[in-house]
Amino acid sequence: MDGTIKIALVGTGMFGGDVHARAYADLQRAGISPQLARLGLDGWARDLAPIKFQLVAVAARTLKSVRRTQATVRRWTGQAPKTFAGPRPWREILRGFPDLDVMAVATPDPLHAEVILAALKAGVHVLTEKPMCLDIAEADRIIELARAKKRIVAVDMHKRYDPDHLRIRQEIKDRIGAPLYGTAYLEEPLHVSTSTFKWAEQSDPFSYVGTHWVDLIYHYYGSKPVSLTAVGQKQRLAREGIKAYDAVQVRVDFDNGMSMNFQNNWITPPDFEGLVNQGHEIVGTDGKVESDQQYRGLRWWHRGGGSRTANTHFTRDVKRPDGSPACVGYGVDSLTAGLAAICRMKFCGATRASVADLYPTAEEARITVAIVHAARVVRDLNFRYLRQGKGAPVTARFGHDGITIVDPLGASQGKVFRQIYRKAL
């Protein structure tokens, strides 16, 4: 088996320019085999070792920023990907590289679906950042096209690969009995919403990072939502003139009887001891699991630096003997899983169906998108009612008939039940 997987990366910001670019640069240098053992896929290491990877193109909104990534990749690999910029640079990439294998999508949250659909239409596999998209109808279009074109859409749900989460899923969740309720939280730093993202107003902390936890819980239990309620607050970012939610809280009830609270914000002051604050806990009929993803037991402080902690399981730099940085940790694992599946399809005759249990699929992401979509509608209605002093009475119901928004205060306009989706989840 010999050949090349050609990759293009669209979006070279905080995440694309760092985690994605480094992952593909490492693949270009050393192939996929060194990464496979982390995923338990080392049985394929010899088979997939001869495959070459090439990051052929990088794209962003502006040329200035994409050139930075190009220079970094050149420094890491000795080869420079072609640069593209503009409002829709993926179109040019798809025209310029008719033999492209993979489009990696790390654009802002509201700009995933368009890139994914364009890539699939051209017969190109996709590795996409989460959330796969923000709208359940978009999720259906993506899945339909991926099936028709026999292509993979792998979603970067790397929390599944955190070693603690692997252990919870494989050993602990069954020992604690049937899940009753739980909490999952991820609190992002203020600079993300105030300076890093130009697009904070087009997303929200639940869509942006709550998706990780929704996916993880679905990955643990495979249970679908039956109802949810959601609220959000707008106070801190309003001070900066940013019209976005500071924080969002969503409670989802699942068909296995479990109720989960998802709490997210992107306003944590820089004084916090780590990069982000995150964790989850689940109470079952016979026990409980608590998992702190931020404080892993490593803490240090020094004069002028405050007290610090770090999630050392995520990607971090390890210096190679030649001084170049290797990216080590679970942060790249879902990208590797998606690429392993793509390699199996391109070079080993595997079908889309036969590799589906290797990586976080579009079909699984659809459940998360449904929750994100419904939570957005419910949260906005409740926000309006709360401001009017009417409480937060709105909920969403998921069923065989689709997704229904239940708004008791809509009775006067005959709008108590509003179906926003008409297919079963």
Q: Answer yes or no whether residue 139 interacts with ligand NAD by CB under 6 A.
A: no
Using CB under 6 A as the criterion, what x/- string covers residues 150-189 for binding ligand NAD?
------x-x-------------------------------
Q: How far apart are CB 241 and ligand NAD at their closest, in Å?
A: 18
Nearer to ligand NAD, 150 or 198 (CB): 198
Residue whose CB is less far from ligand NAD, 16 or 232: 16
293 is a contact residue toward ligand NAD (CB under 6 A): no
- Phi-psi label, residue 73: left if phi above 0, alpha if psi -120 to 50, beta otherwise: alpha
CB of 239 within 8 A of CB of 194? no
Per CB under 6 A, the list member of 28, 33, 83, 107 interacting with ligand NAD is 107
How far is 155 from 359, CA to CA, in rounded Å?
8
Closest CA to 206 of 219, 190, 188, 221: 188
Of residues 4, 6, 15, 283, which one binds ligand NAD by CB under 6 A?
15
User: Which range touches ligand NAD (CB under 6 A), out of 9-17, 45-53, 217-225, 236-244?
Assistant: 9-17
* 360 is a site residue for ligand NAD (CB under 6 A): no
Say how far apart CA 329 and CA 378 lie, in whole Å. Answer: 36
> Which CB atom, from 106 or from 405, has the smaller least distance to ligand NAD?
106
User: For ligand NAD, which stretch binds (CB under 6 A), given 105-113, 264-272, 351-359, 413-421?
Assistant: 105-113
Contact segment (CB under 6 A) with ligand NAD among 36-44, 107-115, 141-149, 321-329 equals 107-115
Number of residues that bind ligand NAD (CB under 6 A): 25
Question: Could you identify the residue written with the tokens 């007290």?
Answer: 307
Q: Minimum distance from CB of 378 to ligand NAD (Å)?
A: 21
3 alpha carbon, distance to own chain's centre = 29
> Binding residue for ligand NAD (CB under 6 A) from 13, 179, 182, 284?
13
Please, which residue, 118 or 230, has the CB nearer to ligand NAD?
118
Q: Return the closest-CA partner of residue 424 out of 154, 146, 225.
A: 225
Residue of 208, 220, 330, 385 that binds ligand NAD (CB under 6 A): 208
Q: Buried b vs exposed e over 289-303: b needs ≥16 C-beta within 10 Å?
A: bebebbeeeeeeeee
The CB-nearest residue to ligand NAD is 13
Region of 287 on the Ramachandran plot (φ > 0 left; ψ -120 to 50 alpha; else beta): left
Half-sphere exposure of 194 (CA within 13 A, CB side): 17
- Residue of 57, 102, 106, 244 interacting with ligand NAD (CB under 6 A): 106
Residue with tokens 């997987």, as numbered in its chain: 5
According to DSSP, the residues that pair with 302 across neighbouring strands are: 306
C-alpha span between 331 and 312 (Å, rounded):
11
Cα distance between the two ends of the chain: 39
- Radius of gyration from C-alpha coordinates of the chain: 22
Interface stretch with ligand NAD, choices 11-19, 26-34, 291-299, 367-375 (CB under 6 A): 11-19
Q: Looking at 197, 262, 266, 330, which residue binds ligand NAD (CB under 6 A)?
A: 197
Report the half-sphere exposure of 308 (CA within 13 A, side-chain side). Answer: 12
Our finding on whether 194 is near ligand NAD (CB under 6 A) is no
CB of 157 to ligand NAD, least distance (A): 8
Pick the closer one to ligand NAD by CB: 13 or 31.
13
Q: Of the listed pieces 106-114, 239-247, 373-381, 383-391, which binds ligand NAD according to CB under 6 A?
A: 106-114
Question: Toward ligand NAD, which CB reaches closer, 60 or 250?
Answer: 60
Structure token digits, residue 324: 């170049």
Cα 267 to Cα 242: distance, rounded to the nearest angstrom: 12
Q: β-strand 402-406 against 395-399: which pairing, if any?
A: antiparallel
The verdict on 190 binding ligand NAD (CB under 6 A) reads: no
- C-beta closer to ligand NAD: residue 4 or 65: 65
What's the CA gap between 308 and 299, in Å, rounded?
6
CB of 366 to ligand NAD, least distance (A): 17
Task: Select from 38, 130, 344, 379 the one that contacts ligand NAD (CB under 6 A).
Answer: 130
3-state secondary structure of 383: helix
d(CA 162, CA 151): 26
CA-based torsion, 29, 34, 38, 41: positive or negative: positive
Contact residues for ligand NAD (CB under 6 A)?
10-16, 59-61, 65, 87, 89, 106-109, 111, 129-130, 156, 158, 196-197, 208
